[in-house]
Chains A and B, each alone.
Chain A
Amino acid sequence: MKRIYVIESLCNGCRLCETFCSSLASGVFGAADSRIRVIKLPGEEQDIPLIDCDGRCVRPIDDSGGPTCVSLCPTGALIYEGQEGAAAKRLELAAARQAHSLFKVVAPWKWPLPWRLT
């Protein structure tokens, strides 16, 4: 069963997820019913998405089959996977980071150009 997993170290705090989610039901940006909220720790050093959602999106923004927040996340900090898929992605991220510093700031699954492990 797929659900939304969060990779906190990839979150850049942009709040696209929260902003769009808040609008999906009502057409109001910043409405009360956003099912994801990004908290920013003091000093801006950590941005933490907190999700209160089963992943069945009110209004998906594309045909990916996933929720709007996951589609829009620029870094790949949000993934929509089953447990095995999520595990595979976490391992992929770890290997990618070992290989190259680019993946400190973007997930390999969001990086559209060819790359390789050493």
Chain B
Amino acid sequence: MAAATTVRDNRTQTILWVDLSEGSTRLETLPEAWTAKYLGSRGVNARLLFDHVPAGTDPLGPDNVLFFGTGPLDGLPVGMGRISIACKSPRGTVAEGSCGGFFGPEMRRAGVDYIAIRGQADHPVYLYIQDSASGEVAELRDARHLWGLKTDETDAALRRELADPDVQFRYIGPAAENLVHASPIFGNLHNSGGRAGCGQVMGSKGLKAIAVRGTQGIRVADYDAFVDAYKVLRQRLDLATSRDMWTPVWSTYGAPVLARLFPDLGNLMTRNAQQMTWDYDKAMRISSEPYLDSYVTKAKACYCCPWPACQKLHKIDSGKYGGFKGGNYWAAQPVVFGSLIDNDDLELLLVLSGLCNQYGLDVFHVGYTLAWAMECFEHGLLTTTDADGLELRFGCTDKDGLVDLIPKIARREGFGGLLALGCAEAAKVVGQGSERFCLAVKGQELEGIPQRNLYMVALGIAVSEVGPDHTRWYPPYPCNPSLISPEELAELGIDLDLRLAFQGRNPEQKGKLLRWFTISRAIVESLPSCVFLVRDTLGLDLRPWWKLFRAATGFDLDYREFVAAGERLMNLDRAFNVREGYRRADDRPPVRMATEDVPGFGYPRLAPERFEPMLDEYYEANGWSVTTSIPTRRKLAELGLDDVAAEFAALGIEAEP
């Protein structure tokens, strides 16, 4: 961080419009009222996306707009460096994802709160943003020498080119350049976001990277109040004082320890979720303890995170993969490159994950599509001839073959070309009933959390406007119920029976729980801050976040107005999808979960009689049509979204009163 030359306020937000077809940039100021109505980041992105990407826009064409959004808490010690990335997905839905690291604060210190990219460059370019206070804001630079580079190579090349250790980057790898399904956007080497479609869109625009450097300071409206509010939040999150049972584990070892709990609970997706349990010995081999013992080299963190080691760097010192470096072994990889494909070789797992990061691939896409292909092999629907000689079996005996496959997926070469489509589209190519092996919703692969044992998860996956995305309602369980009383819930305006909501396989209260979870996470992601820190009661009681927002911006919102901003976002996302033709019928579990009981545990399938009432409860609680899922006119009016109601009317979309 270099010395600040100017100081910016924290009420107004700016947006840099970039037209890659024209090669032009333009910095504008957003209406100050937006900070109160939408907060920032994901909330403002939802508004911008609805406003600027009309129904029917070609997602891979010049008229799609890719938004990068910071917000009023970014660059402050509670924003955790989060940014929201949003656009229309090539699958047709909203595509929104967030990531941490250090890019967001740098944007804010450059005086650029949002970047909106439209058009398409006629040759690869990168965007270089410097401090708006110094006049020259943004420049499009030739990126032909960067096109084709892996993410780590891109990071190194840009670092050398710009010769400033504090420039921050976001970039795509070869996979997104080749418009591979679900490619995310990467930065700070091991952070990524936007697997819902944002990387592909960035690739379609010929935009290889964004570099940003800022030197402004951020003045909060009331510093003393901000520090007081920070101390309250920090006390709730700090390892030493947190009341949450997961804090000691998550802040050091991380999520792979779930491999030691999930198998016995029937929660671990194994062999493409044909089973939901795994050998305990195998699970132990890929848990966090051997990872920390043998591979972790140091702790890493996002900007101002209060936890010591949510992120980590690792290195394989010797053996077959000696010298291989990577980072951030977390919840996805032990499932997608572990139990899902029945691999218990931790080093192979780390290499597959690391190669996905380097090539710019989404680990969920690759893992679930590999698992789909392995199940196809079991049934003779795919053969070694189809797979370029690869024996694609659960248990992963052909390790070299798997490792070699990753770059082929990124480059759409040979068998990699089929896998690059993602399992939903690949199943359409292969046909022959392979669709039932595809674990996806709205064309997007699942994540790692079980559905038939946790009904809120099943509902949350099915209704998510971007496709499966657990961060929209994380964590999959309410906090310790003894930490918050029914009276306090009522005081907070939350209509919920926490006891019933807690019962995993009871359909009751799941709709209401999910409503609150999605609204509260929408708020946290709009500040922005990190939904992983929604621990203890901080996912139910948002008052600590509200106090931070008020102190940071000076906006005197009351608590109900603050909460309404989150609900506004959820309705804008739903409206975007409605406008694209999505309805209730699209909100459903994958075929396997809907039609197969969990073997060995007897957890029943998510048949309509179990699933549909939860959907009814969710839509009703949200004020959406139970028949169609379209937000009612009353709900839209309540949220001040009359323009959305008017647009529905103009497009002939029937919205109930």
Contacts and interface: CB of A to CB of B under 8 A. Distances in A.
Direct A–B touching in the complex (beta carbon < 8 Å)?
A: yes
B4 to A, nearest CB: 5
B30 interface: no
Nearest to B239: A112
Nearest to B313: A45
Given A39-B165, A75-B308, A110-B308, A30 B217 contact: yes
Interface in B193-234: 215-220, 223, 227, 231, 234
Contacts of B240: 110, 112
B299 A27 contact: no
B216 A61 contact: no
Contacts of A29: 75-77, 217-220
Interface string B290-318: 00110011111111111111011100000
B91 interface: no
Interface string A99-113: 001101110001111
B300 A13 contact: yes
A74 B307 contact: yes
B299 A42 contact: no
B299 A44 contact: no
A106 B308 contact: yes
A16 B299 CA distance: 15
Contacts of A102: 252-253, 292
Interface in A33-48: 34, 37, 39-45, 47
Contacts of B77: 16, 19-20, 29
Contacts of B251: 74
Nearest to B3: A32
Interface residues of B, number: 56
A23 B223 contact: yes
A10 interface: yes
A37 B1 CA distance: 7
A16 to B, nearest CB: 5
A101 B299 CA distance: 12
Interface string B71-108: 00001110000000000000000000000001000000
Nearest to A29: B218
Contact of A30 (B1, B159, B253): B1
B649 interface: no
Contact of B188 (A16, A23, A44, A110): A44
Nearest to B295: A101
Nearest to A10: B299
B504 interface: no
B239 A110 contact: yes
Interface string B7-35: 10000000000000000000000000000
A15 interface: yes
Contacts of B304: 14-16, 19
B1 A22 contact: yes
Contacts of B300: 12-13, 44, 47
A83 interface: no
A91 interface: no
A76 B306 CA distance: 11
B189 interface: yes
A59 B619 CA distance: 50
A12 B302 CA distance: 9
24 contacts: A12-B298, A13-B300, A13-B301, A15-B1, A15-B304, A18-B1, A29-B75, A30-B75, A30-B215, A30-B216, A32-B5, A74-B305, A75-B308, A101-B293, A105-B252, A105-B298, A105-B299, A105-B308, A105-B312, A106-B239, A106-B252, A110-B239, A111-B239, A113-B248
What 8 A-B pairs are tightest by C-beta distance, nearest first?
Answer: A27-B223, A105-B309, A105-B299, A32-B3, A14-B301, A28-B217, A12-B299, A30-B217
